[in-house]
Amino acid sequence: MGPLEITGTGRLILGLATGMVFGFILQKAQVTRYEKIVAFYRLTDMTVLKVMLGGILAGMVGVYLLKDLGLVNLHVKSTILTANIVGGAIFGVGMLLLGF
C-alpha cells in the first residue's frame, strides 16, 4: 500500500468535512461560548483546556498510526518566522475584535 494521495476536489471535500466535524465537536463541547472562554482565562473552568488537549492527543495518535500503516510520508518543513508572526497577529486581532 502506497502513501495516501488525495488531490483536487477530493482534497477540498475532505478538508471541508474534517472542518465541519471539528466545528461540530467544538459546538457540542460549548467551547465557542464567550462564558467558557472567559472562565478558562480566569482559571475557573477547564473545559477549553480539556478539548484542546484531547484534540492534540487524538492528532498525535492519528498521525503516527497513519505513519505506521505506511499511508503517509512525514517530513519536517522549515519554519517561516515572519508568516508565524503575521498569522498570530491576525488571530489576535480577530479575537480582540470579537470581544474575547
Distance of CA 23 to the CA centre of its chain: 10
Report the mean per-residue pLDDT for the chain. 85
pLDDT at 1: 43
Ranges of beta strands (E only) in 2-73 are: none
Query: How far is it, in rounded angstroms, from Cα 30 to Cα 44?
Result: 15
pTM of the model: 0.61
- State the pLDDT confidence band at 100, using cuts at 50, 70 and 90: low
- Grid coordinates belonging to 33: 461560548
Ordered by start, the domain boundaries in the chain are: 8-74
- The amino acid at residue 81 is L
The string of pLDDT tens digits covering residues 58-95 is 999 988 898 888 888 888 888 899 999 999 999 988 88
pLDDT at 17: 93
CB atoms within 10 A of CB 20: 10
